[in-house]
A and B are shown apart, each in its own frame.
Chain A
Amino acid sequence: MDVSKLMAIMISMVFINNFILSKFLGLCSFIGVSKETKPAVSMGLAVTFVTTMSSIITWLIYRYLLIPFNMTYLRTISFILVIASFVQLVEMVVRKASPGLYRVFGIYLPLITVNCAVLGVAVLNSETFFQNGHTIAGSFLMSAAQGFFAGIGYLLAMLLMSGIRERLELIDVPRSLKDVPLAFIIASLMSLAFMGFNGFSR
């Protein structure tokens, strides 16, 4: 597991294959929660945490449960169950242990269970880092990194988007484009700008 592979995953997940801007994963929450910066950043942090942790957990499940017992067809159902119960657990723990942290990002946790980005990265991991039931070398770390940087990419898009939408709040935009349609158009232009990173080598 060398640094260059890690860098490649980072650049790919944050800039080239940004989950929101080029893969449309997590788009619902991206459009829904990005009206103000503070909640947007909290949501981004929560998503980053959950994608990282669920990448790790689903890797363990896939590697030590589904593959040995030849049950990979249960991938979807087991992943979503594990993720849902994990998120629920974290929410309960955070609420009890740290009310401050809970206010910052705990309240967004329940929303994340059905966030496509979380299940998306888990499924993506199982497809890229396992080949016909064999584990690729270093796949555990790479899965975790892929989960983490997918979250960072989400956070970056969230941060930029919320800044823009807060500024547009004061502007007299055409009425039929207000809010949601304009958010799509902004996302489209951002995605156009991020196309500049296409075709990265090395």
Chain B
Amino acid sequence: MADKLTVGTSPHIHGRELTSKVMWSVFLVLAPAGLAGVWIFGIPALKVILVSTLTCVVTEALIQKLTRKKIIIGDGSAALTGLLLAYNLSSSVPLWMPIIGGVFAMAICKHAFGGLGANIFNPALAARAFLLASWPKHMTEFINPALVHNGWVKLFSADTVTSATPLVMLKEGKVQSLAGLGLSYWDLFLGKRGGCIGEVCILALLIGAAYLLWKKYIWWQTPTGFILALGGLSWIFGQNGFFKGDFLFSILSGGLILGSFFMATDYVTSPLTRRGQLLFGISCGAIAFVIRRFGGYPEGVSYSILIMNAAVPLIDRYVRQKRYGVK
């Protein structure tokens, strides 16, 4: 009964689409990227994905049972968080890490705030930041895909030869250009590089994103602002001088596509208005650039989204739709 008397957060007006339908759609369109990740990094990646998703669903069910709320794990939001968390991890992490991350995401980032629709920070990203702060070594070790792909046998072996992501190598100054990495743009586009499970295969991510845009589940403002700001700034303030940065490399090499299309567009933790979303996207891009270029971490996409999550209530307050007829 008490549930029915509580007013939820805005927006109060909504279409006919159910939360569960949207959530499961996003879940499904993310599947190709995960399959690609498993293909590239082998069976360990599949294990991380399964453990993470399962942990999130079980944790949510347990919390809802303990707090005597209705158990609504069927809506897919917990599963989606788990999937996104796994996509942000390296395939070589020990399996207790997605478990701890999943529990943190669900218990602290989501249900401490009151559950679905109430959280301020993206649970998957906050959990990633938590894990990165705790076990930086595990979080920054990546399997070298070239080794995995010496044959099918390698797919099932627990090979632990590791490599750094292109961004790490760029940061450490080991290589100056893409050619120095022995990679082409096409390799980056298909995902033949070290990295997190879900971020590497740009092609699969873009197919999913196109579907979401076509169905109007997400809007173009956030991802466009994000990508153009990060890519543009990387181009203008290039490592080798003004207007000499590598636009494509900056977009394809990190977690930008995954972050901008699937995490920065999360309904709960992003602004309501289209103009607000554009501002949100551009700010994310700028912060991510600053972190990549000057910060201690090679990748800033996830941190930039988290930082801007904190500013969403303010953006919602100050960037409003104009009322009709009011100047």
Interface set of A (CB-CB < 8 Å, partner B): 37, 159-160, 163-164, 166-168, 170-174, 177, 182, 185-186, 189-190, 192-202
Closest chain B CB from A123 CB (angstroms): 27
Smallest CB-CB A-B distances: 6 pairs: A199-B296, A196-B303, A193-B306, A163-B313, A163-B314, A167-B313
Q: Is the CB of B9 within 8 A of A192?
A: no
A168, A170, A172: the one contacting B120 at CB < 8 Å is: A168
Residues A195 and B120 in contact, CB atoms below 8 Å apart: no
Chain B residues near A168 (CB-CB < 8 A): 113-114, 118, 120
List the one stretch of B125-133, B217-225, B253-261 in contact with chain A: B125-133
Q: Check A189 against B126 for contact (C-beta < 8 Å).
A: yes
CB closest residue in chain A, given B10: A170
Q: Chain B at the A interface: mostly helix, strand, loop or mixed?
A: helix
Residues of chain B within 8 A (CB-CB) of A172 are 6, 114, 118
At the interface, yes or no: B317 with Cβ under 8 Å from chain A? yes
Give the size category of B's interface with A: 35 or more
Which B residues form the contact surface with A (CB < 8 A)? 6-9, 67, 108-109, 111-114, 118, 120-121, 126, 129-130, 133, 287, 291, 294-297, 300, 302-304, 306-307, 309-311, 313-314, 316-317
How many angstroms between the C-alpha atoms of A182 and B112 in the bound complex?
A: 7
The answer to whether B314 touches A174, judged by C-beta atoms less than 8 angstroms apart, is: no
- Subset of 24 A-B contacts with CB under 8 Å: A37-B317, A160-B310, A163-B317, A164-B120, A167-B313, A171-B114, A172-B6, A173-B112, A174-B67, A182-B113, A185-B113, A186-B120, A189-B108, A189-B310, A192-B126, A192-B130, A192-B133, A193-B126, A193-B309, A196-B295, A196-B300, A196-B302, A199-B296, A200-B296
Known: A163-B311, A167-B313, A174-B112. A196 touches B67 (CB 8 A): no
- In the complex, what residues of B have CB within 8 A of residue A195's CB? 129, 133, 303
Closest to B314 in A: A163
Q: Inside 8 A of A192's CB, which chain B residues have their CB?
A: 126, 129-130, 133, 306
Other A-B pairs, 15, CB within 8 Å; known A182-B112, A189-B121: A37-B314, A160-B311, A164-B120, A166-B313, A171-B113, A171-B114, A173-B118, A174-B112, A193-B310, A196-B129, A196-B287, A196-B297, A196-B304, A198-B297, A199-B295
List chain A residues, Cβ under 8 A from B118.
168, 171-173
Q: Which residues of B contact A170 (CB under 8 A)?
A: 7, 9
Of the residues A164, A173, A190, A200, contact of B294 by C-beta under 8 Å: A200
Residue of A163, A185, A189, A192 with most chain B CB atoms under a 10 A cut-off: A189
- Cβ–Cβ contact B113 & A173, under 8 A: yes
